Structures are given as C-alpha cells and as structure tokens.
Structure 1
Amino acid sequence: MGRVNMTATVVPVVLDRENYDDWSSRIHIYLLAEDLWDVVDGTYESPIGEDGKIDDKAWWKKNAKALYAIQSSCRGDTYQIIKDKTTASEAWYTLLTTLKPDEPPDEKETRSVLEAYPTQTDDDDATPQSAMEEGHTGGPDHESNANDIHKTFANYVKHNDWDNAIKILRQYPQEGKARLPFVRHGTALHYASKNFMSCSVHIIQQLVDLMATEDLEITDDFGYTALYCIINYCPDRVQAAECMVKKNNNLLTILPRWVEGPLVVVAQERTKGGALARYFYSLTPHQTLKVSDAAKLISDGFYHNRFDIAWDLIQRYPKLAMAIDRNINIPLVTLANNRFAFFSGSQLNLWKKLIYYVIRIKRLPPINKDSHINVEKHESGQSDQGHLSDQKENKGHLIFSGNFHVCNPIWFLINRIYQMKLVHEWVAQFLPLMFKANERDMSKYQRMKLNTALCVAAERGHVEYITHFLRNSSYPVNLIMNKKGQNLLQIAAECRHHKVYNLIHVSNQLRKKENIPGLDHADEIRARVRARDQFGNNLLHTVASITPLSQINHIQGAALQMQRELQWFKEVESIVHPKDCESVNKDKKTPRKVFTENHKELGKEAEKSMKETATSCTVVGALIVTIMFAAAFIVPGENDEKAGRRTFLTNSVLTTFIVSDAISLFSSTTSVIMFLGILMSRYSEDDFYKSLPTKMIIGLFTLFLSIATMMIVFSSGLYIMLEGKSSIVIPSILLASVPVTSFIVMQFPLFVELFINTFGPGIFDRKQKNLF
C-alpha cells in the first residue's frame, strides 16, 4: 500500500457546496489508488473486541489516512460538517447525504391526465388523432421544361419574389412539394415560415391554399414540417399556423424524432409562443396529454407569466401542482423560484406603491369543465393570449386611457406596474388550489422538492407562498430545512425578511384556529428558536451574523442598518430562553460575541456616518443661531428725531417677524445641542438602538423648523421694508421657499424612516391584520 501524500489537499478540487459530484469522483479514485476505499465502504473485515469496537491497529491506521484525505480536501463550512466524525465512513456518507444534488425519480409519469386524475368530463374530450407517416415526397414532373420551371420557381423563392413564385405555383401545383436545397431540402412553405422578416402571413396562407393537403406533411432534413418551423422561428404567427392545421389536422402529430410531447408543449416553451400554445391547447384532447406534459405546460406558464392554460389545468386537475414534468421539475416548485410572481419580491418606491394600490384587477373566471378554454379573437385575428393584459376583462382597468402617447414614459411606468399587479393577483388565486394536492400521494422526491421550494420562498421573502402552504398543509414546519440544517424561521431571520419571520412565528395560532393539531404555541416557538443548524447556531446566532443573504442594503445609511440589525437581535433575544442567549456554537461563540464580530465594520461605518451628518448639521445650526440672534435686535422700523429713539411698527407682519425669529433661534440652538450630543457619544452598539436615533430625530426636526422659520423671518422683513413693491417681494418670497424644499427632498425621507423605526410599531408587529 502506498503512502498518503501529506499535503494541504490530496486532490486538485477542494470541496464546497456546489461541486460535490466533481470532488467525490476524484477523491474516490484517490482512495482506490491508495487502497483506502475498503474502510470507507465497509468491506474491510476487522475483528470486533469485547467492548464492541474494532480491535485492529491496521484498520485504525487506514481509517485515519482515509479520514485525513477526506477532511484535508474540504474547506470552511464543508469541513465543519464532518469535523466531529471519527471514521472515514461516517465522514463520507455525511457529505453524501448533505451535499449530493437531488436525484430525479427513476421513471417519469407516462399516463395521461385523465388516467391519472379521472374527472366527470372524460367523455367530453375528443378521441386521439391518428398519426401519419413522417415526411411525404412527391414524384418529379417528367415534362421537358420541368427543370427550367423548377429552377425559376426556386430562384423566385430564394430572392423573396413571392408574387412571381405564387404565379408559377398556380400554374404548376406540383412545385408546392418540390424540395429546395437552400432550405435544407424543405419546400417553399418551409422557407416562407422561417423568413418572417420578408414574408407576410398572407403569403403563407396563399401557399397553403395552393398546396395539396398531404404536401403540408413534408419534412426537411431536420424532420421539421412547415408548421414546426413556425413554432421554432416565429411562434407569434398564429394565423399562419391556424391555416395549416385547418387544412391538415395531422400536422399536430408530426414532430422531429428527438422532440417529445405534443406541439402545445413545444409552443409553450417559446418566449413568444403563448398565443400559439393557447390555440394548440384548444385542439389537444386531454386523453393524449400525459401527466408530465401537462405539468410542463403549467411550469412553463409560470416561468413566462402566462396563466390561461395553467388555470384551466389546475382547476381540472389540482394534483398537477405536484406532478413531475418532463424536465424533472414540479409546477409548485417552479412558481416558488419566480421572484416576480409575488408582491413581496418587488422593490417599489412610495410613488410606485401608490399606483400599485390604485390599480384594480378582476379575478380569473372559473372554467367551464365541459369544454376547453375559448380561443377569442382580436381585431387583427390573433388569439387573445399574448399577455394577461390583453384579455378583455382587464383592459378597462388601466388608470389612463389610450389617449396617452405610446412613447409617454408615464404610460410605460403605469403599464409595467399594471402587468406586475396582474401577475401578483392571479398567482394569489392559483396558490390555494395548488396547495390542496393530497400530501399522502407525494413521493419522497416530491416532498424533497417541496421542501426546497419552501426554503427558496423563505430565502426570497415570498410570504404569500408560505402563507398558503400554512393554510392548506398539515406538514410539520419544523421538518422543513435547507442544506445547512436551518428551518424556515432561521432562513427568514438570516435573510432579514420580517414578514416571513412574523408569519412563521405565529403560525401555530392559525393551526389552532383551523383545528390543525400541533404543539402548544409557546412550546413550538421555543423548539423552533432552540433548533440548531449544522454549525451549532441557534436562531439568535443566525440573526447575529451578517451573510450575503442578509437583506440590509436597501436600508438608507449605515446608521439605520445598524439600528435594524439591533432590532432583529433584540427581537429574537426577547423570545428565547435565557440559557439560549449564552449557548455556544461549534466555534465556541455566544450570540452576543457573534453579533459584535460580525457588526464591527458596520458599527464603524455607522459611527462615521452619524458624525459626518452631525458635523454638517451643527455648522448649519450655528450659522442660523448667529443670524437669528442679530436679527432680533434689528427689527424694521423708523427713527423718531423728536423723541430721539427708534419707532417700531405694530402691524401683524411685524409680529410674524418677531415670533418666527424667536422660534428659529430657539430651535436652531436645540439642534446644535442635539448634534453636539451625537458627536460626544461613546458609540457603543446599544447606542444605535434608541439613544443616537432619538438625538438625530430631534436634531433634524429642530433644524428643519429653524430653516423654515428663518425663511419666514426673511420674507416678513422684506415685506415690511418694501411694502407696496409686490413685483419684488413676491418673487423673493418664492425663492425663499427653495432652501426649505431642498431640505425636505434630501433629509425628510431619512427623518421619516428614523422616526418610524424608532417610535413606530416596528417591523415585528404581531397584530398585523393581513399576516395570514
């Protein structure tokens, strides 16, 4: 047996969470070469001592070498998974079960949807259509001028001279089945179907009318019919495909050899194939639609945000939500990965949110289970499916009418938000039906995929998805974990999604309300908080760490970020047992120590930000104090020569001048004191929770008040001195409002956010009405 090479790593690939397959194959070969694999797979026969342990020095020596080889080729978090393992076999199989990618099921579902999910409408669907032989070639015309005619026709087609080409085709119909070498030995119809830039739908319709029915079945060298060319190259040409199918219905069953499933699935995969898929679906009997094909129609619909076919299938066969499609995907899982399908995944500012809430969307209508979805027509003749917003029941819900110019940016913004809300509202209508699939019928693979989908939803903050899962599922939430061993509560806390955190935190209340069995609320929360991941971190450790998944960059400024992080830590700290606050992870660190280490840099940035803001505002406040103090002793008035003193005016404008000056002086002085207090603070971690934000709020408010009243003092004094000269006074007063407006635009959002975070209800309000 050779010696183990005691280097940093025994194979050139270091194991992380993404390359298990590559790493395992290399380390497996290495262990075989070093004659160490038998202690890993358990085939090494060794004597067992009286204490039940292996009593063989040779075995222990080989085990140590194999264990070293495995551990030395791991890095960071992967090493932590097997750090405590004492045998190579335990280490190997721990990594296998933890990091190996999910294996798809051995067999795909081949039954039709009607066989798998029988309904009362089985007899309403049409019988399967019989398939015809692929390709059809006609014999050549043996007349003397046949070659010349064929060359002329091919030349016209090649140069897109369709008028002359159609004239020849009218005289010599046999040219319709002639094969052209420049189009991979397809027909002129193949060429027209591919060249959507130079050939109109009207020309394709003329070619179809002039060709024999069986000639439409001719395939090119790739096995493509002209209909398949339309699906592949220009799927938005529904009318062209419709005229072909109406003339030869067998085209729906002719596909290239390597293409699986019906044409409706192929069309649904295409980015612009929604209208064509809707048309094909209306012609596809459910007896010919396999479960895997139906599931793929739904998955692709969710991927492209098309919901008509999916809505029809889900209402007829709700269990399709958890069916495995041809790509080993599951519709319910595909939906969880679509971050644009949920409002919680959207980042909208204040104005966009106002537009969003004003828009009203009609609900999807229930289907008629006695028939397929209807294929309505636009004025142009194309089917009504291109996008959800094209459907008639929602066209009238746009806030602005078509009077807006198509290039108007406001119209584009409103339309984009409208499309967004359309998707969100209809996904919310889908979810209750999809989560009603019988959990007892799910395979191990389906449960594993659903577990992954819920972890993704928690990571991305899709609270709507998790809400419907909790409403319609009795599956224990505590058993749902990601690869790091984190439950949904830990994932939500790590990613800083407070809505998901609140939802999971109080989910047991919903279970009690709907008579779903479970633990006592306090016991369940305690169990969730105390649960540890693979690195020994409980929930308080998790929230004390800042990872790339922590969503804090959308918060304005390091100071607010630090305050939010403290709010998270204190929120979790308030619900854990005191012993959990002092528990240590595998790195022997308490939650507070983890928080301090992870927030050290953020604390420095927050301190720098607070000092810079306080310094700038102190300078402004000091200038206002100086100006207002001097203005108090220069009240506008007239000199009385007889009395030898100054006579002051007594009108209301003068009163405004005096009162505004006093308010500005006192508020600016207060702001200076507050900002000086910020500059003199010790800047400990807990100061960012209440003390510093409170001082900043008072300082900003009083500074804003002093600036506003200073402008009033200026305007009042100008009015008194230039009484009667409104052409000068009015523009000057308007210009005085510019500094106030500028301050509001730049600093008011920060002030509002600070105030809400410090004195508002907080993001952990358990009394939110729309929590469920």
Structure 2
Amino acid sequence: MDNQQHSDCDKDIPNPSHSHARKISDGITSSNQGLTSFIREYRPLHEALRKGDLAETEKYLIKDHPGSLCAKITSNHETALHIAIMFGHLDLAKRLVELMSEEDLALKSRNGTTALHLVTLLIENEDEIIDVAKCMVEKNKRLVTLSDTNDWLPVTLALDLGHTEMARYLYSQTPFEFFQPRLGKHGVVLLVQCYYTNLFDIALDLIDRCPKLVVTDGRRGLNFLEMLANMPSELLLRKNVPFWKRWLNPRSQLQVLVEKIPGSAQKTKRDDFGTNASSGIKKAKAVENDKQFPLQAAFSAIYKLNEREITAGRIREAILKAAKRGNPEFIVEAIRIHYPFLWNTNDENGRNIFFLAVEFRQAAVLNLIHGLAMKHVFANMRDKGANCLLHMAGLPPPSSHLNRISGALLQMQREMQWFKEVESIIPHMKKEYLNRENKTPRDLFTENHRELLKQGEKWTKANAGSCSVVAALVATITFAAAFTVPGGNDQIKGYPIFLHKSLFVLFMISNATSLFSSTTSLLIFLALLNSRYAEDDFLKSLPSKMIIGLSTMLFSLANMMLAFCAALFLTLKSQAWIVIPVTFLGCVPVIFYIWLQFPLLIEIIMSTYGPGIFNRNVKRWP
C-alpha cells in the first residue's frame, strides 16, 4: 500500500520551474499543517484506540465528539474503525461497527482500503477475525465488492495472504458476477490463488460456473492454462497417480470431479463455502492435495468454449511451454480435447513438442512418442533448419538440466544416454542426415559437448587420483597389520598368541579382505587415470570403472575398521571403558568419508544400471 502511495506521488512531480516549485512548497506546508492538525485534534482518540480502551473511545465518539465516528482521523484518511483493526482490538472494532452506519463502513483510506480489507490482514484469532468480518458484511453487503487502489477485492487479498477460511467466507458472500472476465481480473486472480493454496473446491466452482476464466489473462499476462503448463510435472500432479488412468472414463471430467467433491457447486449453494459449510464441503478438503483436479477441470471447461475463445486462449503456446517444462499430463489432456493440436503445434522454428522435449531434455514428454500409433511420422520430421530429432540431442543442454546431475562424468553420460535414446527412435538412415549447416547429428553433438567432455575427463581423473591415495593408504596399513598381529607371537613356536580366539580370526579375515579390495581399488583408479576419454566411453566404460573402484575402496575401509575394532577387543578386552570410546572415535573419520562417498556411488550405479529416465512402455494415446 505504501508503494502505491509513492507511485502516486511520483506521478505528480512537476517540471522544475519557479512557479511549480512554489506550488510544491505550498503543498508540503499544507500537508504538514494538516498532519499537525490531525495529531492535535484526535490525540485522545488515538490513545484510546491504541490501548483498546472501549470506555474512553465511546466517551470521545458518542459524548464529546459525535461527528468523529466517520471522520478521517489520520493523514492517510483512516477512520477510528481502521485504527482499531490495525491495532488488533477486535472487541472494540465490533462495537464501532455497531455504532457506524452502512455508508460509514464503506469509507476508504487514501490507499483505497476499507476496514474489511484490513480485517483480512490480521493473522491471529482467526475465528474472531471472521466474526468481525461477518458483522461488517451483514451490515453492508457491498463491502465484499469494493476493491482497493491495487484492485484487490477482500477475498483475493485474504487468499493472497493465505487466510483460507476467511477467503471461503468472503467468497460465499461475494456476488459471482464480480468474478466474470467482463468486470476485470478478479476471477482469474482468485482461480490462480486457489490453485496455489489448494482450495480446489472453490477453483472447481469458478471453472464450472465460468469456463472462460481458464483462458482469461491474469495480471502478469498469463492465463490459467499457461500457468498450469509452466508447472513441472512433479508439482502439477502427484507422482503416484499415473496420468493415463484418467483416460478410462469417457464422461465429462468435470462431472466426475464434481461427483468426487460432495456438496459442490451443483449440489449445494455457494453459501456452503463459508466457515459454516456443510459436512460435504468440509470433506472436500480431503481431496485438496490431489492437484490433478484443476488440470482436468480446466480442460473440461474448454469444451464449453467456442473456437474464437480457444484460439484467443493460446492453448498451442501453452502446449509448447508444457513440452519445455516437462509436463506430459498437460500435453495429453490438451490433445485429448483437440487431436489436431498434436500435428499443428509448432514453435517459430518449426519444432513440435517432441523436438522441444529433446532440446530441453524433458524425458517424460519424449516418452509420449512411444504411445503414438504414428510414432514413425514424428520421428521423420524436420524443423525449418532441416534438423531432425537427433540433431536436437546434439544441441547443448540447458544449464538447469545439468545442475540437477552430480559431477561432469554423469552429466556427460546423461547427454550420451539422450543421444542414444533418440538415435534408437529415428530411422537408421536419418542418423547421417545433414542440416542446413551441413552437419550430421554426431557432428553437432561433438561440437556442442567438447567442453563438457573435457570437464568430464578432468572430474574423473581428479576423483580417481584422490581415491587412489586413500586406497594406497589402506593397502599399506593392512599389509603391515598382517605381520604385526595383536598380542604378538609365541616366542617358542612363532604362532600368534590369540590364534585360537574367534576375534583373532575375525581380525585376519577382515584385514585380508581389506588388503585385497584396496589393492583392487587402487588398480582400477590407476586404470581410470590412463583410460581413453572418448564420447562413447562415458556411456558405460568409465562409469563402470568408477563403480568398481569406489565400491571396493569403501568395502576396504569398512573391513579395515572391522579389523581395528577386533584388535582392540583382543588386546583390551578387560578394559571396556577404554575400548568402546576409542573404537567409536577411531571409526568416526572413516564413517564420515564413507558417508560422503556412498551417495555418489549409488548415483553412478543408478545412472548406469538403473531403470533410467526413459520409458517405452507407454499406454496408447490420445
């Protein structure tokens, strides 16, 4: 609100002429005099409102200064009711509402805020706050339709601050015509807010009663569909609900959704959205975490729009955004509505959703191609630059894609996996196709991944070098320990003193195992330092060597600590108070090192031998 004041002041800055400067000076003097007047005249009232003193406030407003009840008592044009609410004195605010007339409740401050706007800003004692709002609305129902200078209705302001129960009540009291697109952006703003705050019952009611809201531009120039398209898949829907399950029911999706929400728009009055809602609406909260509802409802609303409204809604642009953001659910729902979207949705470069999926490395979208009956047609397409689908895999990946992958080795491996996956999709003869720059897909890949390949080599050698030092250290320690056994040897026979102890057997086995595995790890890391670092080597060869090296090194560390613990228990068995803390302290650095390296090992294993990011078992669609 203060920012709005500053912007209003900036608009009034005149040219720096002498006469204008005098007017500014006069205005400032007048403003200061007005502020002084406010302080002098209403000081007792301000003190009473600040303290929440009901008796003093009533004495001032009723007996001493009857006309002050609706007076603007601050330089920001707030009334006594505004001040009482800002200080959080709800009982005092209720009493002032009783004293004020219907017209007085609609008085606005300089920022255009009514007292009801201020009530929505309070965060404590939610039930009492809603009671104050009810007192106001029951006395003047027009309050819910008044917006401030920033064009916020009370309901949208409440929801913007996350006050969901207050928003439910205000929504039930606001005439629906104020959410119609012809009266502004209140409806689409509220729809977007409902999505982010999981108020899906209100969102579905809005879409059901005014389908055009899903293609109406909001304050940032995006409509609701475009906002959903920009959502990554994991944020838009729950991952445990396969999106193709929604294809099984041929009925209107909105009707299905409405039936899933007892007491929704078709079965109850809008009053049920208030805090005294029916049990059905209360049950609606149980499904608020299922974010597939707004997506289904939004696309079901498209059926009710005409061709002009669909075109103006920029659905094709939204589909392209969904492809870039990795939102296959949005794409499937859009194409189910209008199948030609699959064929004629291209960007300015002539690239369809599958080209963009490869370019922006969105595997979930690319996987959809395996569910098409005419998969080969899309695999044979070219863009305006004569690039085929495999050329897209040769383009440099988005930085956001690489930032999610640990280490340059795995980043280069992921790029090779993308190239090989797309290569398996396109016809064999397309692999050597030239684009307008006379480059094959492999040429483009090599050119754009030269720097990443160097980084992958550098990262792998650096890790192999540091790990080989650890492996060599473990091998040295365990080799020496094999000849300096705990307890020493018998001076006559030469056998170890603890030869027949089970702990000694454990010590020797773990020490020997640690020696063999550390030696193996050392040899593997040395091989990595001298390996070839070609593009194809990053797919399996180099990651496999790193897996063997890391796993044997971590295994050797674990066995070395086991041997250490067994030796301590053998030599200090009668002094457990020394053995236990020393064993614990000795294991801490090794455990810490294993804890740091183990996640990397798991990531390499999953990236190399795991299920991968690509899925060819996709249900036939659309």
TM-score, normalization by structure 2: 0.76
Of 73, 93, 108, which residue of structure 2 is paired with 1:204? 93
Contact kept? 1:295, 1:320, Cα under 8 Å:
yes
What secondary structure is seen at the aligned counterpart in 2 of 1:628?
helix
Of 500, 520, 527, which residue of structure 1 is paired with 2:365? 500
Structure 1 segment 450-529 matched on structure 2, within 5 A = 450-470=315-335, 473-502=338-367, 504-508=368-372, 521=373, 524-529=374-379
What secondary structure is seen at the aligned counterpart in 1 of 2:425?
coil
C-alpha distance 328-744 of structure 1, shift in aligned 2 (>3 A): closer
C-alpha distance 705-173 of structure 1, shift in aligned 2 (>3 A): same
Write the distance in 1 (CA, Å) between the matches of 2:534 and 2:473: 30
Structure 1 residue 622 corresponds to structure 2 residue 519: no
Write the distance in 1 (CA, Å) between the matches of 2:525 and 2:220: 61
What is the CA distance between 1:496 and its match in structure 2? Answer: 1.9
Write the distance in 1 (CA, Å) between the matches of 2:176 and 2:444: 57
Of 309, 323, 342, which residue of structure 1 is paired with 2:202? 309
Report Cα offsets for 1:72-91 as digits up to 9, x if no partner. xxxxxxxxxxxxxxxxxxxx
Structure 1 residue 245 corresponds to structure 2 residue 137: yes
Write the distance in 2 (CA, Å) between the matches of 1:763 and 1:606: 21
Report Cα offsets for 1:358-397 as digits up to 9, x if no partner. xxxxx854515231152554xxxxx89xxxxxx97699x9
Contact kept? 1:303, 1:338, Cα under 8 Å:
no
What is the CA distance between 1:620 and its match in structure 2? Answer: 1.9
Structure 1 partner of 2:214? 321
Report Cα offsets for 1:456-485 as digits up to 9, x if no partner. 222222344334435555343232233443
Structure 1 segment 395-410 matched on structure 2, within 5 A = none
Paired letter, 1:212: S
Write the distance in 1 (CA, Å) between the matches of 2:577 and 2:284: 52
What secondary structure is seen at the aligned counterpart in 1 of 2:558?
helix
C-alpha distance 325-394 of structure 1, shift in aligned 2 (>3 A): closer
Contact kept? 2:434, 2:440, Cα under 8 Å:
yes
Structure 1 partner of 2:169? 279
What is the CA distance between 1:533 and its match in structure 2? Answer: 3.4
| Identity, % of aligned positions | 37
C-alpha distance 371-625 of structure 1, shift in aligned 2 (>3 A): same
C-alpha distance 713-277 of structure 1, shift in aligned 2 (>3 A): closer
What secondary structure is seen at the aligned counterpart in 2 of 1:426?
coil
What secondary structure is seen at the aligned counterpart in 2 of 1:629?
helix
Structure 2 partner of 1:717? 567
Structure 1 residue 434 corresponds to structure 2 residue 323: no
**5+ residue gaps, structure 2:** 1-37, 240-259
Paired letter, 1:279: Y
What is the CA distance between 1:487 and its match in structure 2? Answer: 1.7
What is the CA distance between 1:490 and its match in structure 2? Answer: 2.1
C-alpha distance 296-341 of structure 1, shift in aligned 2 (>3 A): farther
C-alpha distance 630-219 of structure 1, shift in aligned 2 (>3 A): closer
What is the CA distance between 1:225 and its match in structure 2? Answer: 4.9
Contact kept? 1:271, 1:304, Cα under 8 Å:
no
Of 359, 364, 367, which residue of structure 1 is paired with 2:264? 367
C-alpha distance 755-642 of structure 1, shift in aligned 2 (>3 A): closer
Of 290, 304, 316, which residue of structure 1 is paired with 2:180? 290
Structure 2 partner of 1:650? 500
Contact kept? 2:319, 2:331, Cα under 8 Å:
yes
Paired letter, 1:583: Y
Write the distance in 2 (CA, Å) between the matches of 1:338 and 1:447: 21
Write the distance in 1 (CA, Å) between the matches of 2:375 and 2:386: 18
Write the distance in 2 (CA, Å) between the matches of 1:771 and 1:719: 65
Structure 1 partner of 2:456? 606
What is the CA distance between 1:693 and its match in structure 2? Answer: 0.6
Contact kept? 1:661, 1:710, Cα under 8 Å:
yes
Write the distance in 2 (CA, Å) between the matches of 1:341 and 1:643: 70
What secondary structure is seen at the aligned counterpart in 2 of 1:433?
helix
C-alpha distance 673-344 of structure 1, shift in aligned 2 (>3 A): farther
Contact kept? 2:464, 2:529, Cα under 8 Å:
yes
Paired letter, 1:545: L
Structure 2 partner of 1:665? 515
Structure 1 residue 335 corresponds to structure 2 residue 236: no
Structure 2 partner of 1:546? 396
Report Cα offsets for 1:327-379 as digits up to 9, x if no partner. 86532223333559816799xxxxxxxxxxxxxxxx854515231152554xx
Paired letter, 2:235: F
Structure richer in helix, relative to its length: 2
Write the distance in 2 (CA, Å) between the matches of 1:234 and 1:718: 61
Structure 1 segment 51-70 matched on structure 2, within 5 A = none
Write the distance in 1 (CA, Å) between the matches of 2:357 and 2:337: 20
Write the distance in 1 (CA, Å) between the matches of 2:291 and 2:201: 12
Write the distance in 2 (CA, Å) between the matches of 1:185 and 1:371: 38
Contact kept? 2:204, 2:297, Cα under 8 Å:
no
Contact kept? 2:146, 2:154, Cα under 8 Å:
no
Contact kept? 1:535, 1:586, Cα under 8 Å:
yes
| RMSD (Å), alpha carbons | 3.9
Structure 2 partner of 1:156? 44
What is the CA distance between 1:642 and its match in structure 2? Answer: 5.5
What is the CA distance between 1:598 and its match in structure 2? Answer: 1.3
What is the CA distance between 1:672 and its match in structure 2? Answer: 1.4
What secondary structure is seen at the aligned counterpart in 2 of 1:761?
coil
C-alpha distance 752-151 of structure 1, shift in aligned 2 (>3 A): closer
Structure 2 partner of 1:631? 481
Of 188, 198, 216, which residue of structure 1 is paired with 2:105? 216
Structure 2 partner of 1:518? none
Write the distance in 2 (CA, Å) between the matches of 1:638 and 1:263: 86
What secondary structure is seen at the aligned counterpart in 2 of 1:435?
helix
What is the CA distance between 1:541 and its match in structure 2? Answer: 1.6
Write the distance in 2 (CA, Å) between the matches of 1:626 and 1:768: 53
Contact kept? 2:178, 2:187, Cα under 8 Å:
no
Of 447, 454, 471, which residue of structure 2 is paired with 1:597? 447
What secondary structure is seen at the aligned counterpart in 1 of 2:574?
coil
TM-score, normalization by structure 1: 0.63
Report Cα offsets for 1:423-469 as digits up to 9, x if no partner. 7x332122222212345724266466222222222222234433443
Structure 1 partner of 2:526? 676
C-alpha distance 168-646 of structure 1, shift in aligned 2 (>3 A): closer
Paired letter, 1:628: T
Contact kept? 2:371, 2:620, Cα under 8 Å:
no
**5+ residue gaps, structure 1:** 1-149, 347-362, 378-382, 385-390, 398-421, 509-520
What is the CA distance between 1:302 and its match in structure 2? Answer: 3.0
Paired letter, 1:665: L
Write the distance in 1 (CA, Å) between the matches of 2:234 and 2:58: 47
Report Cα offsets for 1:644-691 as digits up to 9, x if no partner. 777662232222222222222221121111111111112111111111
Structure 1 residue 189 corresponds to structure 2 residue 81: yes
Report Cα offsets for 1:591-647 as digits up to 9, x if no partner. 111111111111111111111111122222222223323333334466555657776
